[in-house]
Chain A
Amino acid sequence: MTDAVIDQPVTAKPEIETPSILFWRKFRKHKGGVAGLVVFALIVLIVYVGPFIHTIDPNKIDIRAKNQGPSWKHPFGTDNLGHDMLAQVMAGGQISLAVGLTAMLLALLLGTLVGVLSGYFRKLDGPLMRLTDLFLALPLLPLLLVIIMLFRDTLRAAFGPETGIFILIVFVIGVTSWMHTARIVRGDVLAVKSQEFIVAAKSSGMREHRIVLRHILPNVLSSIMVSATLGIAAAIITESALSFLGLGFPSDFPTWGRLLFDGANFLQLTPSRVFWPGLAISLTVLSVNYIGDAVRDALDPRTQAR
């Protein structure tokens, strides 16, 4: 990281601060981003630490205490089988966040790779973009059905039912949602590629992969970040759609999407069943969006002069 500072050609005047401090200073200026970070950290904290404080097993059935409203024992109430909703929301959050983040990272990686390659290398542009078109044109559900049919039992045997289905779902969501990122990144790369500083870098004999990493990527990071934040939301929602079709996690694995879906019929009876998972999804998506916004602002080389 130290030579990164020395190499940083866009940095106009030498700074005393390390890049990470600089980044943080800029990030802090974005109020929404800070608020988003706090909320997101809080959600992660509650979801992962909460179960140690509120120790009811999310899958514990207490049929006598079904459809209850909020109480000290069950702060979020209970569902129609007597599951504790707070425990379910926390357990669901662990899965939803893990699926959302991992699938988003996978989609981002694939999307950025394809986007940069096709934007930067003219020869690859045609084939890669046709590949993207191909994936966009694929009917998603039949594809998912086939993938799950082919690999479910193999993965289940290799990793057990939970990890197996986790890998499968993350893979399936990641592999089917990178196309938009790829297109956006390609467009941005094409625009950045023709600018003078790239030409300058090229004429100075810089290796291509360094040009891509040092000059192209930081400049297209903003659109990648936006894709990423949208991707988390999309992944959480796709996962719940899969669970609904019976292709996702087994029904005794609560996820936010599934809790929301199951609770929809009970909206009038126990509104908290829909309210909390819904709020959790909205807050997560919103806070990640704001964080993304702030990170983009902080990383965008064009805003450095300000």
Chain B
Amino acid sequence: MGMRAADEARAEAISAKIILIFKGKTMKRTKILLAGTVAALAFANVAHAQRGTDGDLKILFWQAVSTLNPYLSGGTKEIYSASLTIEPLARYDETGKLTPWLVTEIPTVDNGGVAKDMKSITWKLKPGVKWSDGSAFTAEDVVFTWQYCTAPDGGCAQKAQFEGITNVEAVDPLTVKVSFAEPKYYPYGAFVGAQQPIIQKAQFKDCVGAKAPGCTSANFGPIGTGPFVVKEFKPNDVITFTANANYRDAAKPAFASVTLKGGGDAASAARAVLETGEYDYAWNMQVEPEVLATMLKAGKGTLVTAFGTQVERINLNWTNPDPKLGDKRSTVEGGKHPALSDPAVRKALSIAIDRDIIDEAGYGEAGKPTCNIVPAPDAYVSTANDWCLKQDIEGANKLLDQAGWKKGADGIRAKDGVKLSFLYQTSTNSVRQGTQALVKDWWQQIGVASELRNVSASVFFGGDPASPDTFQKFYADVEMYTNNFDGTDPEKYLAEWLCNKIPSPANGWQGQNIPRYCNPEYDKIIAELSKTADLGKRAELAKKANDMLTAEGAHIPLIHRGQISSHSVKLSGVKMNAWDSELWNAADWSRKK
């Protein structure tokens, strides 16, 4: 406690000094902001606030953070925690709208920022932005960020976002031009969103390529332009931040420091915020709704939900996972799945499921039944597959009867010696195991047996090519997990189901086409999508692709999941964001007095 008080005092002293220096500038900025509408309101609330007056902000991430360099880890927890420090050029706001962050405006064809041939985009940086060490933020840093992530042998986790970029150049210290090989009809990929923040050239210049993981001090304490500065980083434990003395808004952040604690589980994190009030904010409350309801009764905190693009789905394996196939298991070479290659089986499995009950039992407010793999934004949401929303056990039974799958003495359907008995795997999580039990019960009713298996999340999602239990290897008949896409444009995401993205030993199981779906017609739609600029036409094509995936049964979409987090009732300014980092506007957070 003594230490924290001392920190606060110091931070206050620093902020007082800063306010004196920047007084003139703040006045001017106040005027500009007041001219704006929404921003004026937000500012008015904290107009009298000073930097660092609200003490320590305590955040709980029940998955501990292992690095603060999002380019070396694709993990959500790393990306979110790093977003307190390092920032991208533009962000998505809580409605999914692109918002300029370190730039003056969003480049478009109309304002000349995007070339008419769609082969380049030019960003204009905000003048006067400083790194937390006091040096100027320039276009060179943006160029360096691109070089850093695309360096050979670098193993950059966000490399896909820089695909198709031929050059990034600093036209002048405040202008960056990004050039593409092909016309890019959605050019807001690179440097947009929490996944690709700008890192400081001076700090990382010796950490390029194979040397990147070795630069511990830089990776654990990146210098940024954001509201907070890393003070101490204990991997997989606690991170402490202090307010950035050089932050561009002299009145922000309201908090003098941030303590971001990692570890535990979702339920205890929820308890720490909602019931005991020990923490101000906790991320990702994947806990049964009735448990949260009990905790909410204490009145210490509230839940915030935002619906992004997460969909809990059951992937059906189109290839044969039989262990007898050895190395050819779950690969295209191993042949088709003996039962799941029948479209009638795939459809019957889908309509046997009552998505409303799954939602009620496991998700509550944080979920909506869906039949789409692209559940948002609204322009891309299709209704063509809504037949699957209604459970139809009888219809499923009839479908299987017609397809020649006859019930045996044990009540399990079979055809030509192939039994409808599936290994159903997912990660270990009580909500997922509950869903497994429900689905098993419904499938039982249509004569389909299932064997449940749950794998520890760190193994299942770990991507270790040596483990047989990863979701990429898919050594099971069906598997369930959640996936989503970044930003608001689904093109890249829909391209995951292309024939050439099927995981196999040849590509180190790295493809994203987990169901091993392959349809040349689908590939054609995606090729067309990538060449279409008109937004209405894009939406149409995206819907067509989405419909095809569900109708053909590449997967069974279950629940459109919201991101659900909790914060103390005393914390104000939280704008839950599913399109960017949840902590995206932490500079605006303050404590209610």
Chain B residues with Cβ below 8 Å from A83 are 437
- Determine how close the nearest CB of chain B comes to the CB of A193; give it in whole angstroms: 46
Closest to B266 in A: A265
List A residues at the B interface (Cβ < 8 Å).
59-61, 63, 66-67, 80-81, 83, 145, 149, 153, 157, 161, 244-247, 250-252, 262, 264-266, 268-269
Please tell me the size bucket of the interface on B. 20 to 34
Give Cα A116 to B331, complex, Å: 52
B517-546 CB mask vs A (1 if < 8 Å, else 0) is 000000000000000000000000000000
B430 touches A262 (CB 8 A): yes
CB-based contact A246/B455 at 8 Å: yes
Q: Decide: A149 and B361 in contact? CB cutoff 8 A.
A: no
Q: Interface digits, B361-395 against A, CB 8 Å rule (1 contact, 0 not)? A: 10000000000000000000000000000000000
A81 touches B290 (CB 8 A): no
The residue that B452 contacts in the complex, of A66, A67, A251, with Cβ under 8 A, is A251
A105 to B468, CA, bound (A): 32
A-B pairs, 7 with minimum CB distance: A251-B433, A246-B428, A246-B454, A250-B452, A265-B267, A61-B441, A153-B323
B456 lies within 8 A of A246 (CB): yes
> Contacts of A265 on B, CB cut-off 8 Å?
267, 287-288, 291, 430
Q: How many A-B residue pairs have CB under 8 A?
A: 68
A-B contact pairs, 6 of them (CB 8 A): A59-B437, A63-B360, A81-B438, A149-B469, A250-B454, A251-B452
Set B323, B361, B454, B468: member contacting A81, Cβ < 8 A: B361
B133: Cβ under 8 A from any A Cβ:
no
Nearest chain B CB to A121's CB is how many angstroms away? 41
A161 to B422, CA, bound (A): 12
Does B294 touch A at the CB level, under 8 Å?
yes
Expressed in whole angstroms, the Cα–Cα distance for A225 and B453 within the complex equals 36
- B456: A residues at CB distance < 8 A: 245-247
Chain A interface SS verdict (over half) = loop
**Residues in B neighbouring A63, C-beta threshold 8 A:** 357, 360-361, 438
Chain B residues engaging chain A, CB cutoff 8 angstroms: 267, 287-288, 290-291, 294, 323, 357, 360-361, 427-428, 430, 433-434, 436-438, 440-441, 451-456, 459, 467-469
Min CB–CB distance A142 → chain B (angstroms): 12
A35 CB to nearest chain B CB (Å) = 37
Distance between Cα atoms of A16 and B474 in the complex (Å): 68
Asked if residues A251 and B288 are in contact (CB atoms below 8 Å), the reply is no
Whether B287 pairs with A244 at a CB distance below 8 angstroms is: no
B437 A161 Cβ-Cβ under 8 A: no
Q: Are A81 and B434 in contact (CB under 8 A)?
A: yes
Residues on A with C-beta less than 8 A from B291 are 265-266, 269
Residues in A neighbouring B453, C-beta threshold 8 A: 246, 250
Separation in Å of the B352 CB from the closest CB of chain A? 14
Residue among A61, A244, A245, A251 with the highest chain B CB neighbour number at 10 A:
A251
Residues of B contacting A264 in the complex (Cβ-Cβ under 8 angstroms) = 267
A269 proximity list for chain B (CB < 8 A)? 290-291, 294
Is the pair A250, B451 in contact by a Cβ cutoff of 8 Å? yes
Asked whether, in the complex, the Cβ of A80 is within 8 Å of the Cβ of B452, the reply is: no
A268 and B441 contacting across the interface, CB-CB below 8 Å: no
> Taking CB as reference atom, which chain A residue is nearest B362?
A80
